[in-house]
Amino acid sequence: MTHRSRVRICAAALLTALACAVSVAPSAHADVLEYVNLGDSFSAGSGVLPLVGDAPLACLRSERNFARVVAEQQGYELIDVSCGGASTEDFRSRQHPDTPPQLDALSSSTDLVTLMIGGNDGGVFAGAIGACVRAALGSPGTFSPCADTAGTSFVDTIEHQTYPAIVQALSDVRDRAPSAHIVIVGYPWLLPAQGTCSPNMPVAEGDVPYLRALQSTLNTAVSRAASETGVTYVDMSVVSEGHDGCQPAGSRWVEPLVFSEQFVPVHPNALGEAAIADEVTRALTR
């Protein structure tokens, strides 16, 4: 074989290799899973520093929220539009001038959707906690001033307003992302099963089980909505037991109202967001 022939053969082999490399690149990129995270402050990780630099400041979206942990660990391509204070209404309308409706992040190519939502609908979460703190401060020594005053009002709101709103939200997500695996996460415990830890969580002792029952009602509504719409539900109630806001730093997954170690209290801390990420990953790999 002449030298010129060997050169031609090598050149042809090189061109073939380059062509193969070019043809492989698009398919490798196509294998990257498209992942969208929606939802409220628990989903955004509001209060956990550092915040996402290019996200709307009002959303308080954390670089360490559960979706970003999952995406980093699994190599997913994440679009995160979660936002502190969001309700189901903000899936279809602008929560802030610089936040498009969250559903706009979804498309027919979306592979995975995660979300936490429902706690802000009807002011249930923030409204109940605020009411019970005010009741405790206004009626010192009273066993259950919040339950005595509010009665079933918060539960009624969840049953008649929040539940159907979550069903509609999940149906809307399915319509926008028909091929996606949709995962909705329940809320981790904020308070212990019994007792209190005032002043860290300044709630009367008898109102602790009242708020726990309310949170259980909310999580049940989320679970029921997931079942009705064919969505995966991640239950945080079992794994978060003993990691509520009354526990010491290093053990708690939720920060207390007073003496919080982050600037948004009564929300998951970095440990809590990581724990949610673990449960979401388990649900995805079952």
23 is catalytic: no
Using DSSP bridges, classify how beta strands 181-185 and 77-80 pair: parallel, antiparallel or unpaired: unpaired
Contact 183, 231 (CB under 8 A): yes
DSSP alpha helix (H) spans, the chain: 3-30, 41-44, 66-74, 124-138, 145-150, 153-157, 163-176, 207-229, 270-285
Contact 72, 64 (CB under 8 A): no
> For residue 101, is the peptide bond before it cis, meaning its omega torsion is within 30 degrees of 0?
no
In Å, what is the CA distance from 60 to each residue of 45, 81, 115, 213? 8, 11, 16, 28
Catalytic residue among 23, 29, 41, 46: 41
Segment (H or E) for 79? strand 77-80
Contact 265, 48 (CB under 8 A): no
3 is catalytic: no
Contact 252, 269 (CB under 8 A): yes
Catalytic residue among 62, 144, 198, 267: 267
Contact 102, 81 (CB under 8 A): yes
Cα–Cα distance, 12 to 34 (Å, whole number): 37
Cα–Cα distance, 103 to 171 (Å, whole number): 11
The residues annotated with a catalytic role in the active site are 41, 267
